[in-house]
Structure 1
């Protein structure tokens, strides 16, 4: 029987699950795959041969946690490892027991430094998903250095400058992984979301990993552009002092964000990975506003996007009508659609699956037996 792959999926947001599903659907049907996640309702369609094992969250209390050991320092090689949490113990035991029972070919980790190190401690080769951010700490370095390979769901031109040659050499860069790179045709997308063909439209997009943008600054922007239709999708933080004009509409969660992106004349969005890939694939003018994330993930990604010339970046939403005018004008003036499209691979999921298969084959193929030199002396 073919050795299975394991896959840990962080349940915050949707990007981790979407990447996993894309890879699962691209792997050969002969490769068993077991997913470990605290939720089983966040995944797109998965093949029948894929199993999801629910485990307790490693990051949220589930009841019965001790509070008497919080004063014991966390070592620098770990990030989230509180003592006395039964849920963490059960999750780790579930994964370790699976390691022992099936002898997996690879464990893919998206993302947890602790799960990556668990795989290494249990003598299981792991692939660590690589994210942007200030991740030079001992915990991340242990996960990266001990990995058999690294997987980056973005183009190599978005790599951070401090990632050295050894790190890049074992990295599979897959721009567009986890999103539908078949962009809907603009006019069709507009009809589907109810926007007229000649109506200038700005889309404000917030993903599932945060609380969204504030209502007040968006209202300022909409008032500064009264002839433009503003549509928000995803969460919006409500501000009691916001005075919204009639040209802004909040649609909340939608099932077809790619159509909204394709229909927009300009997109305002944070720099979560799925959001990035959708906008780059659609090649839309993009005002990128990074949100707070651990390790400054979105800020470092915004820096990479700006350096590659594929987004106009601001540290926060503009706070006045003049600032909005300047930001929107710069977004349009610096738009490079060909450079944006160049960030997306033609077949990112297939490429990733084949890279994983090749990596597993290399790791588990026995080395040829050494041959002794012929003795021609007769001794």
Structure 2
């Protein structure tokens, strides 16, 4: 019979997808908020995205579940069942990754497995009799693979506000935990300090174009049109950008690429134009700025559905693509400035999402294993 007093020392497992930055940032926030007595093993194909981890965290590198390495024997003639997304046969890397995780399940008897994100690893956890927490992202996830992961989950973590919930999540809302702004520091420099750091005159209007790390970024040509439409504004882009040979760039448009001081740029802006990754959205919401959201392509229309949710909550102006003419840019910027509602934006943030999530995970683990022990004792 298991001693329930030992459960706080049983480990949590944590799978971290290495595309983009949000998965790793959420993981870092959560594990730093968990009790030091809770061991955590993090599985990731690219541990460099994680950064420093606390002493109670062990990181295991696993092969990528979707990147080729040259030793595959492709069997594309075999149909992928609807319950799986990315599960090609004949890939030793996938086999080794799943074997590492399953072996750890058997040797460490974990209390929970947190999956951010993989429907296949969520289902592997359930098959191995390990309760799992599925991290939920926006999008059309009505397919059998996602539903199997959510239906079989002990809990579902949504790293954003309940005010951005989709209607089709109703069947599993009872086991969801919302953590608005999870993984993003809410600390922004004051506006004057930020503008001084960027060399901006106090009266200079500045538009910030921000794209995340999960895709290819915005095209350069539409931004040249924007800068020409607003010659008295300074336009700055950070993050990934697609070059266009026909783009015309004026002196009031600067492309900075990746920067370490995203918060400084956000705090200094008068307007933000961005994609809708979780990290990006939390940063902009924290600043309470006029905001235009333009979703990038993602699997399952993740960013499209997130943009629609933000618009529905009154937090941003949603455009399907960057404006293609000067007059369209002027109309979009005017609508964003006039429709700005900082109260609606502030309502989509939480004061300490990391600690709230850590407390929820601890309660969930205790409830699960306490129930299991009670059944074992009385059965």
Residue of 146, 171, 175 corresponding to 2:180: 175
Following superposition of structure 1 onto structure 2, how do residues 291-306 of structure 1 map, counting pairs within 5 Å?
A: 291-306=296-311
1:60 partnered with 2:57: no
Instruction: Measure the CA separation in 2 of the matches of 1:44 and 1:343.
Output: 27
Instruction: Measure the CA separation in 2 of the matches of 1:24 and 1:262.
Output: 28
Instruction: Measure the CA separation in 2 of the matches of 1:45 and 1:225.
Output: 42
Residue equivalent to 1:224: 229
SS in 1 for 2:59: strand
Instruction: Measure the CA separation in 1 of the matches of 2:188 and 2:350.
Output: 13
Q: In the TM superposition, what is the alpha-carbon distance from 1:194 to its structure 2 partner? A: 2.3
Residue equivalent to 2:328: 323
Q: In the TM superposition, what is the alpha-carbon distance from 1:196 to its structure 2 partner? A: 2.1
Runs of 4+ in 1 over 6 A off after TM superposition: none
1:31 partnered with 2:33: no
Following superposition of structure 1 onto structure 2, how do residues 40-119 of structure 1 map, counting pairs within 5 Å?
A: 40-67=47-74, 69-119=75-125
Q: In the TM superposition, what is the alpha-carbon distance from 1:341 to its structure 2 partner? A: 1.4
Q: In the TM superposition, what is the alpha-carbon distance from 1:191 to its structure 2 partner? A: 1.8
Q: Which runs of 5+ in 1 are unaligned?
A: 372-379
Instruction: Measure the CA separation in 2 of the matches of 1:367 and 1:285.
Output: 53
Following superposition of structure 1 onto structure 2, how do residues 133-172 of structure 1 map, counting pairs within 5 Å?
A: 133-164=139-170, 166-172=171-177
Q: In the TM superposition, what is the alpha-carbon distance from 1:48 to its structure 2 partner? A: 1.9
Number of residue pairs matched by the alignment: 369
Instruction: Measure the CA separation in 2 of the matches of 1:51 and 1:190.
Output: 40
Instruction: Measure the CA separation in 1 of the matches of 2:87 and 2:137.
Output: 20
1:197 partnered with 2:229: no
Residue equivalent to 1:353: 358
Q: In the TM superposition, what is the alpha-carbon distance from 1:370 to its structure 2 partner? A: 5.1
Deviations 1:198-257 (A, max 9, x none): 210000011111111111000000000000000011111111111111100011110111
Residue equivalent to 1:257: 262
Instruction: Measure the CA separation in 1 of the matches of 2:199 and 2:47.
Output: 33
Q: In the TM superposition, what is the alpha-carbon distance from 1:45 to its structure 2 partner? A: 2.9
SS in 2 for 1:41: helix
1:273 partnered with 2:273: no
Residue equivalent to 2:3: none
Following superposition of structure 1 onto structure 2, how do residues 208-247 of structure 1 map, counting pairs within 5 Å?
A: 208-247=213-252
Instruction: Measure the CA separation in 2 of the matches of 1:87 and 1:196.
Output: 53
Point out the structure with max Rg over C-alpha.
1
Instruction: Measure the CA separation in 2 of the matches of 1:31 and 1:192.
Output: 40
Q: TM-score scaled by structure 1? A: 0.96
SS in 2 for 1:325: helix
1:19 partnered with 2:26: yes
SS in 2 for 1:163: helix
Deviations 1:111-145 (A, max 9, x none): 00000000000000000000000000000000000
Alignment RMSD (CA, Å):
1.1
Q: In the TM superposition, what is the alpha-carbon distance from 1:189 to its structure 2 partner? A: 1.4
1:187 partnered with 2:192: yes
Residue equivalent to 1:374: none
Instruction: Measure the CA separation in 1 of the matches of 2:194 and 2:246.
Output: 34
